[in-house]
Structure 1
Amino acid sequence: MSSTFVQTTLDYLSAFKRFSGFDVDYVHVTHHASMGFDFDGYDVVFHSYCSRLCFEGYVSESYRERLRAFSGVKVLAVQDEYDHTDVLKAAIKDLQFDIVLTCVPQDSLEYVYPRAEFPNVEFITVFTGYVPDDFAATLPPARPLAERPIFIGYRGRDIGGRYGRLGFDKFEVGRRTKELCDLRGIKTDIAMDEASRIYGTAWFDFVGDCRAMLGSESGSNVFDFDGSIEARYKEMMAANGGVPPSYAEFLPIVADRDGEIEMGQISPRVFECAMMRTPMVLFKGRYSDAIVPDEHYIALNKDFSNFEEVLARLEDLPGLAAMTERAFDHLVGSGRFTYRAFYARVVEAIERRLVQKSWTGADTATQVPAEVLDPDGRVLEAPKPWPMGADEFQVRTDVGVVAVYRQEFDTLIEEFARVRAIFESELPRLREIYKESIEALSSQNLAHETLLPAWEQDVSDFKRILSLYDTATASLPSRREQVLADFRAALASHSTATSRDALQQMLDIEKDGYFGMIEWIKQLNEAYQAERLQLEHAHRAQLDELNARPVQASRPQPMRACSALVGPMVRTISAVKPLLRRLLKSSG
C-alpha cells in the first residue's frame, strides 16, 4: 500500500468500504509481507491494482499461499496490464480469481484474455479511477477563469518509446505545447520531470489555478506479453550509455504491436479537472468513450496543426466556462462515474458469483495474531480498518532491511565461531608438527632450547584479538534482544512514531554489528596469518641452523624430512583462505 500517498489510489481503496455494503478490512501484501492470519473469516478477497501481480516476487508468497487456500470469491483489479502480461495471466490462473476488473475493452478481451484460457473468469471493463462521491461537495467555489494565474498547466512523464504512441503522447503534449507557448511569450507551468510532480491536496490546488489543463489518453496499446519488448528496450539503453531510446528510435520495435489493440482510456485527471471546473485541452482520442471533443474538452490535433485555434478558444472565457459546466454535469453531477456507481457494478458481480459458489458465508472469526513479528523478524500483518499510510508502509520496508541485516549478522557470528575453532586448533597443531620435525632432524633435543620463546607464551596477537572480541560482544545478545522487545512493544501499541524510533535503534545495532563482524573476521584472519607466518619463519630458522652444522652420518637429510611433514599442513591451512575470501566478498 505504498501508493496510498496518491489520492486516486486512496480513494479507490477507501470507496470499497464506503459503498460495497460489506464489512471491509485491509491488509498489506507486498514487499515480502508476512500474513499473520488466514482468510477463512471472509466472504470476498478484493486484490487492488496497486499490488501488481505482473512482477515476480512483488506480491508476497505468504499472501499467495493464503489466497490459494481461500474458497470464497476472489476479485482482482488490474491496471497497466500491458506489462509482463503472461506473468499476470499465470497469476490469475494460479490464484484462481473469479472476477477481473480490467481496462481492456470488451471487444478486445480475446486478444489479451482468450476465453479458452479463462473459461470461468468474468472480465469487467472499468476505468482507472472515478469521481469521489462527496469530494466535489466539499470543494470551495471554483476560482473564476479570469483570475487563475496559470494559463496552461501540466505534469507528465517521459517514459521513452517502450509504451508506443499513447505513452509518447503523455510527454509530447507537454513538450510541444511548452515549446510553442515559449515562442509566443505565453507563460505556462508545464513540467515532465519527477521532481516537479505534485501529490495529495496540493494537486487539486494546482488544477484549480490553471485556466486550462493539458492531457492525453491513458494506457498503452503495446502489450509486452513475454517481457521481450522490455528486454530489447534495456539492451538499446545499455548500448546507448544508459540513455533510453527515444520514441522514434524504438518505434520500429513496437510499431506493429501498437496497432493490434485500442486501449486509449480516460484517466482520473479528467474527472479531477471536471470537479475543479478547469477546462481541458486534450489530444484527440477515444477516452473510454466517456467524453466528447468540443463538448467536454478542446481537442488538440497530435500534429499541433490547430494550435492557434486552441489558443484563441482559451481566450473565450464565457465559452470555456460553459464547457466546464457541461463537463461537470456529465462527469460529476450525473453520478454515472462515481465510486458509488462503480462499486455497485462490482457488488452485483460478486453477489452473482457467491450464488454460483453456493456460498453460505464465512463461519469462522478472523484470528488476529498474538505475536507481532514472524520468525524472520518481519511484521506479521493483521487486518486493519483502513488502508495503510505511507509512514506505516515505511516501517514495513525498514523492518525488511533490519531482518536482512539481522540474518547476515547472525551468519557472520556463526562463521566467526567456526573459523575461530579451526584456527585455534590449527595453530597448536602447527607448533607441534614443527617441533616434531626439528626433533626428528636433530641429533639433540632442541624443542625447548632453540625454538623462539614466543611459541610457548600465552600472549600473542591472535589471542589478543580473541580476547578483545569476547569483551566487545559479551553484552551484544542481550542488547539485541532488548531492542527487539522494545520494537515488539511499540508495534503492539499501534503507535507509528514509537515504532519508527524503536526500529531505528534496532537498525543501528544490527547494521553496526554486521559491518563490525566483517572487520572482526578480517582481523581474525590477519592475526592468524601473521602467527602462522611467524611459526613458519621460526621453523625455517631452525632448519637453517641445523643445515649449517656438520652432517652426522646417522642424521637424515633435514630438508626432505621437513618438507614431507610440513607440506600437507600448509595446504590444509591454505584451504581456509577461500572461505574467508568468499565470506568477505558476500559481506561487502
Structure 2
Amino acid sequence: MRNRPTALVLYNWRGQWPMRRWERQRIFAWKAHFPGRIVFFNVGFPFDPAWITALDPDLVLIDATALAARYAARGSNALERAVAAAPARARRIAAPLDEFLSLRRLREFLVEARIDLLLTALDPALWDSFYPVADRPYAIRRMLTAYIDEPLIRVARRASPDLARRPIAVSYRAWETPAWLGEMGVLKREVGLRAAAWARAGGHRADVAMDGEGRLAGDAWIRLLGASRAVVGVEGGSSLIDPAGDLALAEAAPLSGAGWTPPPSVIVATGSAEVRALSPRHLEAAVTRTFQVLVEGDYSGVLEAGTHYQPVGRDLSDIEAALDRSRDLAYAQAMVDRSYQEIVASGRYSWRTAVREITAQVLA
C-alpha cells in the first residue's frame, strides 16, 4: 500500500438539485477525512473506463446512489464498467441504503464486483437473512445512514440552545408516501398529520408540510429545526422487502390509494423483521437541540427512548401526551442537552470517526 493512498468514490447523480444536505454530506465527507488523495466520479454520465484505470486507485467506494443503478440495465452496465476498470489490487467497499429493493441483484453484484467490505444500515440481526453466510465472501460492518460533520454543527450554532426562545412548537416534513414503504410509509405521513392536529387543538404554532409540499433545500431544514421546540418522526425504512426487484417504483401508487397490493414475490415484513434504521433527521435534531417525539424503535442503537427522545407507541395513541411533554421546558431542555452531549459532543457519530475506522479496517 502506498504511503498516501488514492480513493475513488463512485456515485450516480442526475436528479434533484441541489442535493439534499445529508446525501451530499454522505458522498463528499470522505474529502475532509480520508488520509490520502480522493477522487469523486459520477457514473451517471458517459465516461471512458480508461480514466479510472489511469487513476490506479487503492480503494474504490461505491455509494448508495451508484448501487441504485441496478434498477435499470443501462445504469447497471455503467457501474459494472467503472468497477471493472479499477485495478484488481484495489480494495472495494459497497455502501447500499436500499437493501429492501432488488436485493437479489445487489447480492449478485457484490460477488461479481469482488467487494471486500459491505457497509450496511441493517440491524445485525438481519444480516444473515439478507446476506447468507454461504454466499458472502466479504466482511460486513454496520454504518449509519448519516453522520455529523462540522458544517452541520456550525449551522446549528446559529439557533438558540434555549428551547423557551424558539417560536415554533412543532415542525415536520414528509415526502410523498410511496407504496413500496408499506406500513412504515403510513407512519411517516401519519405522525405529521397528528402533530399538526395537536398544534391546532392547542393553539400552538406549527410548521408541518406533507406529501412533498413545503420542500426545504440546503440548510433550510436545519434552520427550521433550530427554530422549533419539537419535531416528530419515525425510523427510516420499509415494511416491504423486494428480493426479486418486482416493484415498479416509478409507477407505485400512494398507500392512500385503494386496492394496491404488493406482488406475490414481495415480503410483507412486520415488527423486528422490518428494515428500520436511524434517519439523518434524528442526528440533525440532536445537533440543533430539538426535542424529538418519535415512534419507539431501535434507531440503530444510537437513540435511547426516554433518554434522547420522547417515545410514542406505534398506534400513535399517545402522541398528543408525548408532544405535551415538549411544553414542560425544564424536562425538554434536559433531554435535548443530554442528547447533544452524548451524541454530538462525544464525537462517536462524526464523519471523522466513521471514515477513520472504515479506512483502518479496509486498508490494514
TM-score if structure 2 supplies the norm length? 0.85
CA-CA distance at 1:122 after TM superposition: 1.1
What's 1:290 paired with? 302
The answer to whether the 8 Å contact 1:31/1:58 transfers is no
What's 1:44 paired with? 59
CA-CA distance at 1:49 after TM superposition: 1.3
Within-5 A mapping of 1:123-162: 123-133=140-150, 135-137=152-154, 139-143=156-160, 144-162=162-180
After the TM superposition, which segments of 4 or more aligned residues of structure 1 sit over 6 Å from their partners?
A: 251-255
2: distance between equivalents of 1:33 and 1:207? 40
The answer to whether the 8 Å contact 2:169/2:199 transfers is no
What amino acid is the match of 2:144? F
| Higher share in strand | 2
What amino acid is the match of 1:64? E
User: 130-139 or 306-315, which moves further after superposition?
Assistant: 130-139
2: distance between equivalents of 1:147 and 1:65? 54
Within-5 A mapping of 1:228-239: 228=246, 230-231=247-248
CA-CA distance at 1:210 after TM superposition: 0.9
Q: Does 1:322 align with 2:338?
A: no
2: distance between equivalents of 1:12 and 1:219? 18
What's 2:7 paired with? none
What's 1:103 paired with? 121
1:216 to 212, 226, 234: 234
The answer to whether the 8 Å contact 1:207/1:273 transfers is yes
Q: Does 1:351 align with 2:332?
A: no
Q: Structure 1: state its 5+ residue gaps.
A: 238-242, 353-588
Alignment CA distance shift 1:192-1:33 (3 Å): farther
What amino acid is the match of 1:146? A
Q: Figure out how many residues of one structure are paired with residues of the other and give that number.
A: 343
CA-CA distance at 1:255 after TM superposition: 7.3
Deviation string, structure 1 residues 20-43 (Cα, Å, up to 9, x no partner): 212101111114445451335211
The answer to whether the 8 Å contact 1:219/1:265 transfers is yes
1: distance between equivalents of 2:97 and 2:217? 20
Alignment CA distance shift 1:211-1:249 (3 Å): farther
What amino acid is the match of 2:19? F
Q: Does 1:205 align with 2:223?
A: yes
2: distance between equivalents of 1:264 and 1:232? 19
Alignment CA distance shift 1:35-1:187 (3 Å): same
Deviation string, structure 1 residues 300-346 (Cα, Å, up to 9, x no partner): 22323223422331211121111111110111011110001111221
The answer to whether the 8 Å contact 1:266/1:288 transfers is yes
What amino acid is the match of 2:341? D
RMSD in angstroms over aligned alpha carbons? 2.6
Within-5 A mapping of 1:410-421: none
CA-CA distance at 1:138 after TM superposition: 5.9
What's 2:4 paired with? none
What amino acid is the match of 1:124? R
CA-CA distance at 1:69 after TM superposition: 4.0
Within-5 A mapping of 1:441-520: none
CA-CA distance at 1:96 after TM superposition: 2.0
Alignment CA distance shift 1:97-1:311 (3 Å): closer
- Provide the secondary structure at the position in 2 that maps to 1:303: coil
What amino acid is the match of 2:97? Q
1: distance between equivalents of 2:83 and 2:320? 55
2: distance between equivalents of 1:333 and 1:78? 28
2: distance between equivalents of 1:58 and 1:316? 55
Alignment CA distance shift 1:312-1:195 (3 Å): closer
1: distance between equivalents of 2:220 and 2:106? 34
Alignment CA distance shift 1:286-1:37 (3 Å): same
| Higher share in helix | 1
Within-5 A mapping of 1:409-448: none
- Provide the secondary structure at the position in 1 that maps to 2:237: coil
What's 1:173 paired with? 191
What amino acid is the match of 1:246? S
1: distance between equivalents of 2:145 and 2:41? 21
Alignment CA distance shift 1:338-1:58 (3 Å): farther
What's 1:57 paired with? 73
2: distance between equivalents of 1:139 and 1:165? 32
What amino acid is the match of 2:286? A
The answer to whether the 8 Å contact 2:240/2:274 transfers is no
2: distance between equivalents of 1:20 and 1:291? 27
1: distance between equivalents of 2:292 and 2:198? 18
Q: Does 1:88 align with 2:88?
A: no
Deviation string, structure 1 residues 225-256 (Cα, Å, up to 9, x no partner): 1123x25995xx6xxxxx53438855787674
What amino acid is the match of 2:337? E
Alignment CA distance shift 1:259-1:294 (3 Å): closer
Alignment CA distance shift 1:294-1:137 (3 Å): same
Q: Does 1:22 align with 2:25?
A: no
- Provide the secondary structure at the position in 2 that maps to 1:213: strand
CA-CA distance at 1:280 after TM superposition: 0.9
Deviation string, structure 1 residues 364-402 (Cα, Å, up to 9, x no partner): xxxxxxxxxxxxxxxxxxxxxxxxxxxxxxxxxxxxxxx
What's 2:256 paired with? 246
What's 2:23 paired with? 9
2: distance between equivalents of 1:275 and 1:340? 16
1:122 to 133, 139, 159: 139
Identity %: 26
1: distance between equivalents of 2:277 and 2:213? 26
CA-CA distance at 1:268 after TM superposition: 0.9
Alignment CA distance shift 1:58-1:103 (3 Å): farther
Alignment CA distance shift 1:323-1:161 (3 Å): same
CA-CA distance at 1:259 after TM superposition: 5.0
2: distance between equivalents of 1:285 and 1:37? 45
CA-CA distance at 1:200 after TM superposition: 0.6
